[in-house]
Amino acid sequence: MPRRKKTDVVTLHLRLREELRAQLAREADKKKTSINAEIVRRLEDSFRGDDLVETVRSTIQTTFNETIRLNASPGGTFALGPFITNPEEEKKK
């Protein structure tokens, strides 16, 4: 079987609950598009969302690190959530 190109369009058969299919159909109707186009758009958006989350997390971490560097006293404790680490606390571990 020859390798597929990244630009190839392929057929994919999937099973889903009728409730979900109906919801996709309603959203597609609102946008005057096909269910297929709605599914593809949502899948592509979900991957862009992953990239956005990582970009935001990285930006917050960089801002946090810079804030500590510029304003924090030694040993100060900052907490911005479970995904943001305090470099001063990491050094102690």
Residue 71 domain-assigned? yes
Residue 1 domain-assigned? no
How many CB atoms sit inside 10 A of residue 88's CB? Answer: 17
Residue appearing with tokens 């758009």: 41
Q: Output the pLDDT for position 68.
A: 72
> Where does the chain have alpha helices with state H?
18-30, 35-71, 87-92
Q: How many helices (H) and strands (E) does the chain have?
A: 3, 0
How many CB atoms sit inside 10 A of residue 38's CB? Answer: 19
- Domain of 55? 18-92
Q: Mean pLDDT of successive 10-residue segments in the chain (93 residues)?
A: 85 93 96 95 83 83 78 55 59 64
Q: Is the pTM of this model over 0.75?
A: no
Tokens of 10: 């392929």
Residue 44 domain-assigned? yes
How many CB atoms sit inside 10 A of residue 61's CB? Answer: 15
Residue 55 domain-assigned? yes
Residue 82 domain-assigned? yes
Residue 7 domain-assigned? no
Residue 4 domain-assigned? no
Number of domains the chain contains: 1
